[in-house]
Amino acid sequence: MTENFSNEFQTTLNGAINDSTTSVVVTSATGAPAANFRIRIGAEYMLVTAVAGTTFTVTRGLEGSTAAAHSNLATVTHVLTAGGLIQKVAESGGGGGGTPAFAGAKAYAATTQSIPNSATTAVAFPLEEYDTDAFHDLVTNNARLTVPAGKAGKYLLQGGTYIGAAPPTSTETLFRKNGTTLIRSAAGSIGDGGWALPHATADLAEGDYVELIIYQNSGSAKTIGSTAGLDNQSWAAISLLGGGGSSAFVGCIATRTTDQTGIVTATNTPVLFTGTDEEDSDAFHDPAGANPERITIPSGKAGVYHFTAGVIWDGSATGQRRIMIFKNGAEVHGGTQSIGSLAGTLGYSMINTGVTTRMAVGDYATVVVAHNDGSNRTLSGSVIALRFEAVLVGT
């Protein structure tokens, strides 16, 4: 709920009430805040959860007070209480242990879906794991996750699709905004069967919607998803990071829009994010500085961070590709992903990773890639990859 306030609102009861009624009629509601707000009648505190004219719907006996009968014309005063302050701090993500209420949704499919050859297709989600604010409709446009009223802000997008074994092919999975705009993301690309797990952050306005889309060019229609077991089912999730009543976004989105050539075989190589930062709330990253590969935690921003990264390798039918997230020069547990060789008619392969870890002030994270092709390889500066994101998720 959202706690609301106004200055010096006071009225009287229009009729006596007993100690159990939850509908209170007052003589005037002029100057009252919108629900939810707190009032005091005598020694009893109440929470007003709805206002209809001069009728308040209330929760009785708040904050240790006792529900009691009150006489006609008893004074009704809007009050600022300890409980109201705690609720407001929690909504704003402020100190004192408060955390903002989570807003988001996760939808999934327990059925298969046919993906046509050489066509971009939105993944349908007829089921939900959770949905806090009607982001998703199970029937109408069920491929969409739509930002509801009052929830504009910075969002984390995550998803997954599984395609069964097929002739060697290239398959892309990524996010699309409002039916047309591809979201720069850590996209997923798979070859002869496997998972793609794209993720991204994006600024979304009220009414904007995102879809998880998939493209494959095997030469015939292919099937994604599964009717048995969670491991192969398609899913997508949207989570509000900042705005819309959540705490302000803290983090960085670094990019690279040109090729990084000369990735030497059997050698860990940091990715240099020299493009313009899409977001940088607190000087986490300097694309033109001495260490464009680093996202560094600034003063006052220690905490738990979620890191995601994605790159595109040029096509090659030899060896494996790896992407890793390092902290202070050492590999972070759980932050490594690998794929096999993939030439594919698209001529490249995508790989992404993500990990959550605690960071102190001055700690830095980097994206490191490696391969064992036997010759130098190239990372592509595609519009949908070469991306490194850091988001503060807790302290």
The per-residue DSSP string of 226-257 comes to: -SS-GGG--EEEEEEEEBTTBPPP-EEEEE--
Residue 390 or 395, more confident: 390
Q: How confident is the model at residue 99 (pLDDT cuts 50, 70, 90)?
A: very low
Ranking 185-199, 285-299, 366-380 by mean pLDDT, the lowest is: 185-199
For 72-97, how does the pLDDT look when each residue is reduced to its tens digit (9 = 90+)?
999 999 998 887 887 776 565 544 33
Question: Residue 3: pLDDT band by 50, 70, 90 thresholds?
Answer: confident
pLDDT of residue 329 exceeding 60, the answer is yes
Give me the pLDDT at residue 8, please: 86
161-176 pLDDT per residue, tens: 877 655 445 677 889 9
List, in sequence order, every beta strand (DSSP E) within 82-152: 104-108, 113-115, 121-122, 127-131, 144-146
Q: Residue 344 above 50 pLDDT?
A: no
User: How far out from the chain centre does Cα 361 lie?
Assistant: 24
**pLDDT at res. 348:** 63
User: Which residues lie closer than 8 Å to 289 by C-beta, 6 or more apart?
Assistant: none
Q: Record the tokens describing residue 201, joined without a space.
A: 């952050």
Q: Which residues pair with 307 in a beta bridge?
A: 355, 390
289 burial type by CB count under 10 A (0-12 exposed, 13-18 middle, 19+ buried): exposed
Q: What is the pLDDT of residues 173-207, one digit of tens each?
A: 889 999 999 886 655 555 555 667 787 888 899 99
- The average pLDDT across 223-247 equals 75
Is residue 363's pLDDT more than 80?
A: yes
Q: What is the pTM of this model?
A: 0.59
> What integer pLDDT is reported at residue 121 of this predicted model?
95
Please name each of the domains of the chain with its CATH number: 10-92 (2.40.30), 100-246 (2.60.120.40), 250-395 (2.60.120.40)
Predicted local distance difference test score (pLDDT) of residue 345: 41
Q: Which of 197, 188, 189, 196 is nearest to 168 (CA)?
A: 189
The share of the chain scoring above pLDDT 90, in percent, equals: 45
- Specify the range with the lowest mean pLDDT, choosing from 1-5, 127-131, 133-137, 220-224: 1-5
Q: Which residue has the tokens 């047309």?
A: 180
Q: How does pLDDT run across 237-271, given as a tens digit for each residue?
A: 998 886 665 567 789 999 999 999 999 999 999 99
* Mean pLDDT of all residues in 302-312: 85
